[in-house]
Amino acid sequence: MVTSPRSAPSVVTRAERALGVVLAVVSGATIAVQSRINGELGVRLDDGVFAALISFGVGLGGLVILTPLVPQARQGLRLLRDSLAAGALPHWYYLGGVGGAALVATQGLTVGVLGVAVFVVAVVAGQTGSSLLVDRAGLGPGGRQPVTWPRLIGAALTLLAVAGAMSGRIDGTATLWLGLAPLVAGCGIAVQQAVNGQVRHVTGSALTATLVNFLVGTTALALTWAVVRIVVGPPNPLPREPWLYVGGILGAAFIGVAAFVVRWTGVLLFGLATIAGQLAGAVLLDLLVPAPGVQVQAATLIGTALTLVAVAVAALPGSPIRRSSTRRREAASQPQLTRSTEE
């Protein structure tokens, strides 16, 4: 029996929400490391799309080996087949890997120039705004998440942090394009997290959802790279350092965590928590092992601190924001309710 994506969400405890936030922060830090690795691989190959294809291909290979060894994942594959046959989810819900592929491709294309910290804050801008819309639309397994004042203020603070961190770094059309590419990719991350969470919901396995994500993403990147090679030509020879090829494993871990815990946190809170981990990890990487010509500026450090504050604000409880027309209708109905009670 396949569960409908619109079934009533289970009650989330405070401990589950807190654990979800912690796991999101840690997984965000791993994405910062992945960004640095894939960015360096893209520079070495002089081909960011091929670097992304290698990253996804390595992650997919690991998942293909691991999935049959886990009983719950094998059961998840059977439920995936049933859900596809029954139409339990719209077919586009299974295409979350396209968003991940776009993000990893922009890592290879831009991190070598922008640095990890600026890349991450550019992704933040797109991810934050789209997370509000995704939660409001109810695309995630937790159903519709109301827009509360803390969540809205937290998102606004994050965008302010992005603007500050990017100040002084946009010095030309090329650099502006490099900043816009991860911003657009960030818009797809919230959708990816939501639909992967739905796939995890119907299959009962985060590992199965991650496998679907990487299969779709690898296919999209392979098709894209085939076109790029025709237009641009072949990449440089493969580098020999083994650490340049572990980005896909880190990405698989991140997607698995996201598919598992987004039902506890909602898409926006999960996104903001991963942003905090990404920024903290990115600043440390740019301080300790910076890319050539990349220096951490004071504005980036301030933006990181402000983003951490935004995560804390967004996690606060708050009442949903209601439209003024809704409030007027409720106010108008109140006297009628009072008269009915008196009668």
pLDDT at 301: 80
Give the per-residue pLDDT at 52.
Answer: 92
Amino acid letter for position 178:
L
Query: For residue range 20-35, what is the model confidence (pLDDT) as tens digits?
Result: 889 998 998 998 898 8
Q: Is the distance from CB of 63 to CB of 252 less than 8 angstroms? A: yes
How confident is the model at residue 166, as a pLDDT? 64
Residue 242 confidence (pLDDT) above 90: yes
Q: Residues 118-135: pLDDT tens digits?
A: 787 778 778 777 888 888
Q: Is the dihedral of CA 215, 272, 156, 330 positive or negative?
A: positive
Mean pLDDT of 270-277: 79
The residue among 82 and 333 whose pLDDT is bigger is 82
What pLDDT does residue 275 have? 75
* pLDDT reading at 243 higher than 90: yes
Q: How confident is the model at residue 3 (pLDDT cuts 50, 70, 90)?
A: very low
Range 57-74 average pLDDT: 92
The pLDDT of 226-232, averaged and rounded, is 89
Q: Can you list the alpha helix ranges (DSSP code H) found in the chain?
A: 14-45, 48-66, 71-86, 97-114, 116-137, 149-166, 173-203, 206-232, 247-265, 267-288, 298-314, 324-342
> Which string of b and e fits 269-282 if b means at least 16 CB within 10 Å?
bbbbbbbbbbbbbb
- Kindly indicate the confidence band of residue 258, based on its pLDDT and cuts at 50, 70 and 90: confident
Q: Under the phi-then-psi rule, with left for phi > 0, alpha for psi from -120 to 50, and beta for the rest, what region is 145?
A: beta
CA distance 314 to 72: 34
List, for residues 200-220, the tens digit of each pLDDT value.
989 999 899 999 999 999 999
Q: Residue 337 has what pLDDT?
A: 43
How much of the chain exceeds pLDDT 70, in percent? Answer: 85
Average pLDDT rounded to a whole number, residues 305-318: 76
57 vs 168: CA distance, rounded Å: 36
* pLDDT the model gives residue 173: 52
Output the pLDDT for position 167.
Answer: 65
pLDDT, mean of residues 54-78: 92
Helix, strand, or coil here: 148? strand
pLDDT reported for residue 328: 53
**Whole-angstrom distance, CA of residue 165 vs CA of residue 304:** 8
Tell me the sheet residues that pair with 148: 320
Q: What pLDDT score does 176 carry?
A: 65
Global pTM reads: 0.74
> For residue 12, is pLDDT > 80?
no
Q: Count other Cβ atoms within 10 Å, centred on residue 225.
A: 21
Check if the beta carbon of residue 257 is closer than 8 Å to that of residue 23.
yes
For residue 235, name the pLDDT band (cuts at 50, 70, 90): very high
Band (pLDDT 50/70/90 cuts) for residue 111 is: confident
Contact 123, 31 (CB under 8 A): no
User: 187: alpha, beta or left, given left = phi > 0 and alpha = psi -120 to 50?
Assistant: alpha
Lowest mean pLDDT among 108-112, 214-218, 311-315: 311-315
Q: Under DSSP, is residue 320 helix (H, G, I), strand (E, B) or coil?
A: strand
Name the average pLDDT for the chain. Answer: 81
> Would residue 8 be called left, alpha or beta, if left means φ above 0 and alpha means ψ between -120 and 50 degrees?
beta
- pLDDT at residue 329, rounded to an integer: 53
